[in-house]
Structure 1
Amino acid sequence: MTANDASAGEPAAVPPLPGAIDVHAHFITDRLRAAMQAAGHGEPDGMPAIPDWDPEAALTHMDAVGVRTAMLSVSSPGVDFGDAGATRELARSVNDEGAELVRAHPGRFGLMASLPLPDIPAALAEAEYALDRLGADGIVLKTHYQGRYLGDPHYEPLMDLLDERRAVVCLHPTSPQCWQDTSLGYPRPMVEFAFDTTRAVAHLIMSGTLRRHPGISFIVPHAGAALPVLADRIAVFALMQAEGPPAEVLADLATLHFDLAGFALPRALPALLQLTDTRHLLYGSDFPFTPGWAVEGLARNLADAMDPATREDMLRHNASRLFPRLQEGVCRI
């Protein structure tokens, strides 16, 4: 709003989610954009275009919604475009630039660092650099890398490191390798993302990865994707396939954290609350891949649907437990 608008007596819009911590927000650097376009991802995952992003526009959007702090991560397709050396360089670049954004805007941004997977030695080195040198708030992991899903033994050294560091890990879906056969020509975020998230989380549980690494705090996106509907089915198959003690699917799902990015209402959130409680809900915008006008409308729906205690848990309290530095109101990066 300009000064002229205010003097004309127009009331300032009240942000729907004042003081929110947004755990599912993205950023796009110039180098990342160029790499995506060069690799043929100018329409990422079938979306019309790579959205515009800059810190000033992001802060304006955050103020309109009421977001105090946005935890920035790289969205799908990530930083791996087939060349291992280029992947290492691009991961380092986005992490360095993300850390600089946090330093330049104290308290407004956080960083979920990207890793040059599926190269495990390089990923271990980058995780240590991001967490120790940059002070990153956590790590973002795609549901799979070149078709190898989280929960595969390939990732065990990384899971060991993240468990030891008690890291927060944001999961993010990406197009499955068979998307040409399954997406029916539609953008993959419409259906494929939900099932790719569900596939990865099911594998984390069924493989025992989640139980072996209790120090990792996983954030599952999009109100749990298809997990609330498929949880009982997965649990039965865990019993049928177990050679030893079966995976405790429902108990394990209840330990996860879930962001409400996307269309949590009117159906997804009530289903999710059959799996977990309100202390495991987190706010997520998915900006800028979800445009600002849509984020604001979805935020108002959430604000209107929740009682005050649940809203406070979802907006601030739960995220503050995951990211203790946000309780202090200072930036440690």
Structure 2
Amino acid sequence: MSSGLIDVHAHLLPDFYVQQATTAGHAHPDGMGGWPSWSVEAHLDLMDRNGIETAMLSMSSPGVHFGDDKAARLLARRVNEYAAELTREHPCRFGNFASLPLPDVDGSLEEIAFAFDELGTDGVALLTHTHGVYLGDQRLDPVFAELDRRRAVVFLHPTSPVCWEQSALGRPRPMVEYIFDTARTVTDLVMAGVLTRHQNMQVIVPHCGGAVPVLADRINEFMRLFLPSENSASLDAVQQLRGLYYDMAGTAFPRQVPALLKLVDPDRVLFGSDYCWTPPPLADAHIAAIDAAESPAEGTTWRSLTTANAQRLFPRTAR
């Protein structure tokens, strides 16, 4: 089996996408100064430098839906075909998560079929919400039913919350707004029963779960107080949260991973670099911090532990 890292939180950023997103009004995506540079060569260089065997590529915020369903379908298809071509050209180095044109349910179902059946995608990437439609919204249930039927890996990624104009206080939204929007949509999935209705999906939560680990008991308490008693047989909130996977993208140490391990077992933790939105020097430093940290399982390192966990999710990466 490979000892190289498997990066489940890695982003591609083709020029055609940047051009279309900028035209749609995203010159400063999520309050950042601009778009980072990205190329296949630079990505492979970062991977080689840090011992990353395989990167599962996905699109970050703001996603592919800029307000028009037809345009979103076309952009999702172009992005997914581009990512699939990269995977074919570099089969041992890249995998990919397909983008969906949510909240367009019909378009998303069509793209799921195409991505899995024609392109051989490794899973799908879903933003925490699209135009205010969060993931527990009952309108999205046909999408989750199909992903459940396919036993799909579902990678979540944050975006600016609907209230960012007031809540972000003029600061870049990835700093804290992403963390809370992750907790918001995961809570919505739990409270709406999406995770108990569709237990065949394998869900990856980014950034060590955002604020989820420290809120888990609070969510559980409110779930007991406010959900109808006939739902009491369902898995409680903490049980549901313990069944998800969590990536280590961002500042995993010294505080986020220890908090996460109060909620989940080590076999639920995956490696993520968040490149190219995390600049190369910072990505290098984050990986060095992971390598320097003590593994929670005797006889393992964070590299070997997260790689083994990822290989169970993505069997084709086990070599």
Q: TM-score range by the shorter chain?
A: over 0.9
Query: Does residue 155 of structure 2 align to residue 164 of structure 1?
Result: no
- CA drift at 1:209: 0.5
Runs of 4+ displaced beyond 6 Å: none
Provide the rounded CA distance (Å) in 1 between the counterparts of 2:103 and 2:228.
Answer: 29
Name the aligned partner's letter for residue 251 of structure 1: Q
Provide the rounded CA distance (Å) in 2 between the counterparts of 1:292 and 1:154.
Answer: 39
Work out whether residues 279 and 313 of structure 1, in 8 Å CA contact, stay in contact via their aligned partners in 2. no
Provide the rounded CA distance (Å) in 1 between the counterparts of 2:284 and 2:306.
Answer: 14
- Percent pairwise identity: 49
Name the aligned partner's letter for residue 175 of structure 1: S
Listed as ranges, the matches of 1:37-186 within 5 Å are 37-186=22-171
Equivalent residues, number: 312
Name the aligned partner's letter for residue 55 of structure 1: V
Work out whether residues 242 and 264 of structure 2, in 8 Å CA contact, stay in contact via their aligned partners in 1. yes
1:284-313 residue CA offsets vs partner (Å, 9 max, x unmatched)? 000010011101111011111133515245
Work out whether residues 4 and 303 of structure 2, in 8 Å CA contact, stay in contact via their aligned partners in 1. no
Name the aligned partner's letter for residue 106 of structure 1: P
Structure 1 regions of 5+ residues with no counterpart? 1-16, 329-333
Q: Which residue of 2 aligns with 1:323?
A: 314
Q: Which residue of 1 aligns with 2:288?
A: 300
Q: Which residue of 2 aligns with 1:253?
A: 241
Provide the rounded CA distance (Å) in 1 between the counterparts of 2:14 and 2:27.
Answer: 14
- CA drift at 1:59: 0.1
Q: Residue 62 of structure 2 aligns to a residue in which SS?
A: coil
Distance 1:277 1:313, change over 3 A: farther
Work out whether residues 68 and 107 of structure 1, in 8 Å CA contact, stay in contact via their aligned partners in 2. yes
- CA drift at 1:314: 3.7
1:45-92 residue CA offsets vs partner (Å, 9 max, x unmatched)? 011111111101100011111100000000000001111111010000
Work out whether residues 150 and 204 of structure 1, in 8 Å CA contact, stay in contact via their aligned partners in 2. yes
Distance 1:237 1:310, change over 3 A: farther
Structure 2 regions of 5+ residues with no counterpart? none
Query: Does residue 213 of structure 2 align to residue 197 of structure 1?
Result: no
Provide the rounded CA distance (Å) in 2 between the counterparts of 1:86 and 1:31.
Answer: 13
- CA drift at 1:18: 5.8
Provide the rounded CA distance (Å) in 1 between the counterparts of 2:316 and 2:126.
Answer: 22
RMSD: 1.2
Q: Residue 158 of structure 1 aligns to a residue in which SS?
A: helix
Of the two, which has the highest radius of gyration? 1
Query: Does residue 192 of structure 2 align to residue 207 of structure 1?
Result: yes
Provide the rounded CA distance (Å) in 1 between the counterparts of 2:131 and 2:261.
Answer: 33
